[in-house]
Structure 1
Amino acid sequence: MVIYMLKRTLSLFLFIVLIFTSLSGAFEVSAAYNNTYTNTGNGQTDIYEVAKTQVGYYEGMEKYASYTKYGDWYHDYMNVEDAFITAPWCAMFVSWCSYQAGTIDVTGSYAYCPYWVSYFKNAGKWHNRDSGYIPIKGDIIFYADDGSLSSHVGIVYESNRSKVYTIEGNTEDSCKYRSYYLDDTYILGYGTPAYKGEVNTVVPELPTPVTGETVYITGYNAQMSWGTANLFTKDFTGSNTVAYNELGIAWSAYLVAEPTASENVYRITRVGEHLQSGNLIIPEGGIIFASHCDDRDTNSDAYTNSRDNKIATTGFKTGDCVLLTGVNFTTGAVSATATLTKTTLSDTDELSLVLNSEYTIDSTNGYLIGVKEGVSLNEMKSQFTNNGLLFNTANVGTGTVISITDGNGNTTDSLIIIIAGDVSGDGKINSGDYLKVKRAFLGSIVLTDVQLKAGCLSGGNSITSSDYLKIKRHFLGTFDIFGE
């Protein structure tokens, strides 16, 4: 009997531990997405700030598959059947946010989007997408796959005269940030609740572009449309090649820019107009900016603004540096004042070549390419825009390090000089280089990465017989490595 009671007691204990562990695990998951926002009493702001605390929550992350806390809340709040707990939840998410923000009396509370659209229409608070209405923060945005019956809903948290930015539930089974152009046919329209508190109805104007100085940005890694001005760090397949026809519309003007050592500062490598075929390569870590002129109505503000932005784009020049502001690479949000603005790099930022320099910077490996044998330090300095250049050797050769420092003497940028054929690093190409490269080819010595870069004259990452023969012919005067 005692043994039996002990077994029952142990079983009960293990059962309690199991239940507690399961519940605590569930609470730990959902606790990460508790509403941590404190309402201000301004419903227009409170509803989207509450929604922001939920970004990242996903269906089935707690309790069981298809479960959401929004469906569970709606089930209890509206006293509806259990099926709502695991039902499609975009509308219940917005209802939950409204309840948390204390605005449910003006937004309504629904689980079915068409009923919610009817609610706003009956209240005289509805605007169709094609009505010319520009959404504001706190609006409830509705979507329709077929253009008539709403099938999805979200909350507007930002907008400008080109795009609308939203937070939505049940988007790929989770809460996510989204953005759309105002003329996107997926948008059905907007519900505009009569929020308590001061309502901000001002929609930010797009910045005024200045030729060769600044351009505005309306989208990020998004489909091109009429009058848009998009920034790209990748194409829609994730590769680094952007084809003009992937983006829906021919580009009126564009910029290609590579990164610099300064945060959010890029150096323009190409400027062009009317890209209607082919593709462009996005530099590693760089950007492509494409602008389109909306010429459907030449008397419209859309035409004037987009035309000016296109003209401003073509005013930039190769070698100009631009500062990127207003684009969030993480969320994809683009502020109403997002721009590329011409800027300059100080001497202490990074090494910068003069325009049309015969040299090339390999920023990936930190090499300076294109330097010829016998070049002097003064000749080297003339190829840079920087002052105060430092060299670690008295003569220029492969392996020489050129650098700049800040006011405290800290190195801010440096490059290793590569002279093709100069494997020994003395700045000359002679029999010593020939012998080193030949011995490396035969496997009797191993070259450093820098020496290998100087010795691989035929390209690639390994020495060939052609490489040491070219070096031999060069110092014998029957071949010019630099004129190849």
Structure 2
Amino acid sequence: MAKHGFTAARKMKIAYAVLGTAVAAAALGPQAANAETASAAGQHSSTVKSTKNPVDHAAQRSRADESKIQVTADQVLSMARSQVGTSENAAGGGTPYQRWYADSKRAAETIARDGGTPAGYLNAPWCSMFVSWVGEKTGARPQIGWDAWTVAHAKWFKNNDRFGTVAKPGAVVFFSWSGSKDLDAINHVGFVEKDNQDGTISTIEGNTGNGKVEERVRPKSQVVGYGYPEYAS
């Protein structure tokens, strides 16, 4: 879509499709305003609200610890960069990232946490699904994590002591368009390509305002923090 804003009707549709009726009302609180702000800035929010804590932190950390880490930051960025230009359809879906996530084991886990059905992910905001897909395709999923909800994805890094404030190539960067540093205010996620040393970072992101995977330059003032995957040297 050329313009991918979050109208109230679309917010309601996604909330009910992905989260289910029981928690949809909780999803339509203050973050709806943040999403409209993101739309005005030409950026689509990827926050899917949950009333529960992220699950399976210990299991995912165990897998990360037990895995022999072979994937480098350059390999992850190369895979992400290879997807630049991939676009959603007019309904906000149709990407390989949404289809992969809907069919994944993780979808069943996040449905247990948030409610909804696998089909609900097919047209849902997909920036966190894009990051997760890159991890899957490079073999770095245990280090990058996987989730459809940006807040849960950030908290997974935080709970595994891999969250901070320094931009590093290959880091997973979490944004809040309001400038908040609260993890619960996160709207969007992508990968850091580099720190430009001028108050901005260069990124690769899925589900941007143009409904595509794009390379962007972002002000650090919009960054909540960074997740640090454990990469090979």
Q: Which TM-score applies when normalising by structure 2? A: 0.60
Report if aligned partners of 1:164, 1:179 keep a CA contact under 8 Å in 2. yes
Q: Which residue of 1 aligns with 2:213?
A: 175
Distance 1:122 1:59 in 2: 32
Deviation at 1:156, TM superposition (A): 1.0
Aligned positions of 1:32-431 closer than 5 A: 41-60=70-89, 66-77=93-104, 78-80=106-108, 81-128=118-165, 133=166, 135-146=167-178, 147=180, 148=182, 149-162=185-198, 163-171=200-208, 172-181=210-219, 184-195=220-231, 197-198=232-233
1:174 is paired with a residue whose SS is coil
Instruction: Point out the structure with the larger helix share.
Output: 2
Report if aligned partners of 1:126, 1:189 keep a CA contact under 8 Å in 2. yes
Between the aligned residues of both structures, percent identity stands at: 30
* Mean CA deviation greater in 93-102 or 145-154: 145-154
- 5+ long unaligned stretches in structure 1: 1-40, 199-484
Question: How big is the alpha-carbon RMSD for the aligned residues of Structure 1 and Structure 2?
Answer: 1.7
Distance 2:107 2:197 in 1: 41
Report if aligned partners of 1:47, 1:98 keep a CA contact under 8 Å in 2. yes
Which of the pair has more CA radius of gyration? 1
Q: How many residues were matched structurally?
A: 148
Q: Deviations over 1:354-375 (max 9, x none)?
A: xxxxxxxxxxxxxxxxxxxxxx
Deviation at 1:43, TM superposition (A): 2.6
Deviation at 1:118, TM superposition (A): 0.8
Report if aligned partners of 2:164, 2:225 keep a CA contact under 8 Å in 1. yes
Counterpart of 2:101, as a letter, is: Y
Q: Deviations over 1:167-219 (max 9, x none)?
A: 000002111000124xx321111111112x20xxxxxxxxxxxxxxxxxxxxx
Report if aligned partners of 1:145, 1:151 keep a CA contact under 8 Å in 2. yes
Deviation at 1:165, TM superposition (A): 0.8
CA gap 1:79/1:180 in 2 versus in 1, 3 angstroms: closer
- 5+ long unaligned stretches in structure 2: 1-69, 109-117
Distance 2:230 2:119 in 1: 32
Structure 1 segments, 4+ long, off by >6 Å, are none
Deviation at 1:79, TM superposition (A): 4.0
Instruction: Point out the structure with the larger strand share.
Output: 1
Distance 1:85 1:75 in 2: 7
Report if aligned partners of 2:202, 2:216 keep a CA contact under 8 Å in 1. yes
Q: Deviations over 1:264-321 (max 9, x none)?
A: xxxxxxxxxxxxxxxxxxxxxxxxxxxxxxxxxxxxxxxxxxxxxxxxxxxxxxxxxx
Q: Which TM-score applies when normalising by structure 1? A: 0.29
Report if aligned partners of 2:92, 2:125 keep a CA contact under 8 Å in 1. no
Report if aligned partners of 1:43, 1:101 keep a CA contact under 8 Å in 2. no
Higher relative contact order (CA 8 A, sep 6+): 2
Report if aligned partners of 1:43, 1:102 keep a CA contact under 8 Å in 2. no
